[in-house]
Amino acid sequence: MRITREILLNIARDTVAQRTRADRSIIAAYLCGSLLGDSYLLGGTADIDLVFIHLDTIPTEREIVHLTDEAHLDIAHHKYVDYRNTRNLRVHAWLGPTLSSCRALYDPQHFLDFTIASVRGQFDRPDHVLERAQKQEQHARRIWTTYHEQKFEQGPGQVADYLQAVGHAANAIASLSGSPLAERRFLLNFPARATAAGKSGLRHGLLGLLGAPNLENDTLASWIPLWQAAYQAFPEEQAPARLHPYRLLYYRRAFLSILEGDQPQAVLWPLLRTWTIAANLLPENTEIQATWRQAIGYLGLLGVEFEQRLAALDAFLDLVEETLEEWARKAGV
């Protein structure tokens, strides 16, 4: 199947029309995500991000629908009550930017038009931008603090939490000049966001938190089959939406494309995130988890080196906090 933006947009519209005819609980629907931007393809693959808003109960939080090997629908289901407070939506770290850039596809009662207009109305006001960024940084700091307040067992859960903290820290910077970073392009797009914040050096700090500076491209390439083995270890009915079988090529082809580009280390973020989620959900003491542990240990995210990574994260968060304070002063907040 030849993939173009117009083909994907038509699929989005048709899907919304079919779903709203079949399900009267849907009161609005919108398109969001990469399809609204210029770089909607990566490795020749794309997803169509749709959100259906239901009057009360939702059938599921998220579903993945196969279209072709190169494209799938990623559908989220939300409740109407979550959209009633436009002030809170405007400063919501994730939903605010999503609504600010989304495209309404179904809105017979025009409540979504009103909500989007309210969010966009003062979205770029400096105090609102700062509040969204601070929420990201504060979430990262809370996760970091838990490592010092309680004992933790080193393993996939601990690494997943650490990566979540790193993601929030980076998105605090990204939120000063745009929406939070998408998973596949996370490290590809972060340098421009750091530069926009006047802190281009944060790119190197972020790579350091992931153990990337001394990582060879051949090593990254050798991990992809091991990642795939973990990804495919779930029966389809047990796979979480994020690791749905229909998304395998969506990730794999993106990985290969990034490795062939001028920022090959940028593959590390989506590879690590999804591999760690899989390892955390699979039984312990298996060969699949052993290969994950070997890779994570190589990056210094397990064992004695992890304490060094935590100290580096503390320093990185200090720089993020200082950057937000400096940005606030310049913006007159």
* DSSP-assigned letters across all residues of 161-192: HHHHHHHHHHHHHHTTTSSPPPSTTHHHHHHH
CATH code of residue 95? 3.30.460.10
Tokens 């910077």 map to which residue?
173
User: Would residue 327 count as lying in a domain?
Assistant: no
The pLDDT of residue 190: 98
Last residue of a domain, which of 99, 121, 143? Answer: 121
User: Would residue 326 count as lying in a domain?
Assistant: no
Q: Do 23 and 167 belong together in one domain?
A: no
User: Would residue 328 count as lying in a domain?
Assistant: no
Give the DSSP letter string of 104-116: EEE-TTSHHHHHH
Under DSSP, the state recorded for 78 is E
The pLDDT of residue 132: 98
The pLDDT of residue 152: 73
Q: Do 145 and 281 belong together in one domain?
A: yes
Angle between helical axes of 268-281 and 217-231 (0-180°, round to 10): 30
Q: Do 285 and 214 belong together in one domain?
A: yes
User: Would residue 333 count as lying in a domain?
Assistant: no
Last residue of a domain, which of 106, 121, 136? Answer: 121
The pLDDT of residue 331: 95
Q: Do 199 and 274 belong together in one domain?
A: yes
Q: Do 154 and 286 belong together in one domain?
A: yes
Q: Do 67 and 134 belong together in one domain?
A: no
Last residue of a domain, which of 121, 145, 180? Answer: 121
The pLDDT of residue 1: 65
Q: Do 39 and 103 belong together in one domain?
A: yes
Task: Please state, in angstroms and rounded to a whole number, the distance separating the CA atoms of residues 133 and 123.
Answer: 13
Q: Do 162 and 111 belong together in one domain?
A: no
Q: Do 231 and 248 belong together in one domain?
A: yes
Q: Contact 64/73 with Cβ under 8 angstroms?
A: yes
CA separation (Å) from 7 to 2, 10, 230, 250, 251?
Answer: 8, 5, 33, 18, 21
User: Would residue 325 count as lying in a domain?
Assistant: no
User: Would residue 151 count as lying in a domain?
Assistant: yes
User: Would residue 144 count as lying in a domain?
Assistant: yes
Q: Do 132 and 22 belong together in one domain?
A: no
Phi and psi at residue 61, in whole multiples of 5°?
-80, -35
Task: Please state, in angstroms and rounded to a whole number, the distance separating the CA atoms of residues 303 and 254.
Answer: 30
User: Would residue 332 count as lying in a domain?
Assistant: no
Nearest to 242 by CA among 274, 275, 288, 268: 274
Task: Please state, in angstroms and rounded to a whole number, the distance separating the CA atoms of residues 156 and 281.
Answer: 9
For the chain, state the CA radius of gyration. Answer: 20
221 is in which domain, residue-wise? 126-320
Per-residue tens of pLDDT for the chain, all 333 residues = 678 999 999 999 999 999 999 999 999 999 999 999 888 999 999 999 999 999 999 999 999 999 999 999 999 999 999 999 999 999 999 999 999 999 999 999 999 999 999 999 999 999 999 999 999 999 999 999 998 877 777 899 999 999 999 999 999 999 999 999 999 999 999 999 999 999 999 999 999 999 998 799 999 999 999 999 999 998 878 889 999 999 999 999 999 999 999 999 999 999 999 999 999 998 888 899 999 999 999 999 998 899 999 999 999 999 999 999 999 999 999
Task: Please state, in angstroms and rounded to a whole number, the distance separating the CA atoms of residues 323 and 317.
Answer: 10
The pLDDT of residue 59: 93
Nearest to 254 by CA among 228, 219, 280, 291: 228
b/e map of 226-263 (b: 16 or more CB within 10 Å)? bbbebbebbeeeebeeebbebbbbbbbbbbebbbeeee
- In sequence order, what are the beta bridge partners of 62? 76
Q: Do 109 and 195 belong together in one domain?
A: no
Q: Do 114 and 134 belong together in one domain?
A: no
**Residues, the chain:** 333
Q: Domain count of the chain?
A: 2
